[in-house]
Amino acid sequence: TMLLVRAVVGVGEASYATLAPTIIDDITPPDKKGKALAIFYLATPIGSAMGFVLGGLIESAWGWRAVFFVAGGPGILLALLCLLIEEPKRQLATTRVSVIDSAKQLLLIPLYRRTVGGYIAHTAAVGAFAHWAPTFLHDRYGMDLKPATFWFGVVTVVSGAIATVVGGRWVDRALARYPSTGDHDHPSTRAGTNALLRICAIGVAFAAPFTVAAFASPSPIGFFILVFFVELGIFLSTSPVNAALLRTVPAGLRASSMAVAIFGIHIFGDLGSPPAVGLLQDHLPIVAAMMALPVLIAVAALVWWPRRREALADPSG
């Protein structure tokens, strides 16, 4: 039953995550797109962290079943309220296209491939980090799972909120220098996309050494302080990477662009990374096993770092 319900939730999540960014991109002025996307994606770190914090508190007071009602009840109410929202007038009309044909066309675009490739490594690291962090705190420092989960959630709320807002403002500054012409193949558009990917690369490159230091920290206090900086770097890329996904493709393929990216980052990213890290823990000390995560973060930085020759290349190359 839980598997079935989770699958239904996944359908809804995939739908809104695919369509919402394209609507935001349509209805916001060019100089505020980064800020708007940042506000939208701010829900990711805050919502995830609230799940860590409130989930533990509710479970200890009323049992694990109550958590689903507290988390799911407002979601049902908000979904019904969304039916009352007037459909915004879209500036760019969507075109009905084949999913397979769209994916083939998208994967021919080098900047799009690189954006998704870095996003896969990034998501794999984040998924495994979120899954194993409380267990790491318990095994490494002897912390109980409830306080470990609570404090990890608190750090995620603060660092995620700061990084997402800063990333959004950085996106607006980058796009102001390289305004989109509506043509994904225009040199200004490609240069702007590379500027967005540079923000992503800087963020994860900043996070990688702090991740190594966090897992090597001899105390839980040191771990939480270092993780604050890790998550600053990781969440800094949230707004720019999604803005890049929208800029690298023709207007009629933006929804397909988000759909293919979401499919890729989950199938090749956070679906397999938690079990893979768990397998490493079966054969290595937990500190050594967790060091796979900064490697993934470094891979994301390497993939995202702009290539000047690619910005000038033919997108069908």
What is the model's pLDDT at position 36?
83
**Amino acid occupying residue 231:** E
pLDDT for the residue numbered 308: 64
pLDDT of residue 310: 55
190: Cβ contacts below 8 Å, ≥ 6 apart = 111, 184, 311, 312, 315
Q: Identify the pLDDT of residue 164.
A: 83
- Angle CA(197)–CA(258)–CA(200) in degrees, nearest 5? 15
- pLDDT tens track, the chain, 317 positions: 888 888 888 788 777 777 888 888 878 887 777 778 878 887 877 787 777 778 778 888 888 888 888 878 888 888 888 888 777 665 555 556 667 788 888 888 889 999 999 999 999 999 999 889 888 998 999 988 778 878 888 888 888 888 888 888 888 888 888 766 666 667 777 888 888 999 999 999 999 999 999 999 999 999 999 999 999 999 898 889 988 888 888 877 888 888 889 889 989 998 899 999 999 999 999 999 999 999 999 999 999 998 765 544 444 33
Sign of the dihedral defined by the CA atoms of residues 187, 190, 196, 200, in that order: negative
Q: Helix, strand or coil for residue 306?
A: coil
What is the enclosing helix (H) or strand (E) of 201? helix 187-216
- For residues 180 and 249, is the Cβ–Cβ distance under 8 A? no
Q: How far apart are CA 195 and CA 189, in angstroms?
A: 10
By CB atoms closer than 10 A (0-12, 13-18, 19+), residue 310 is middle
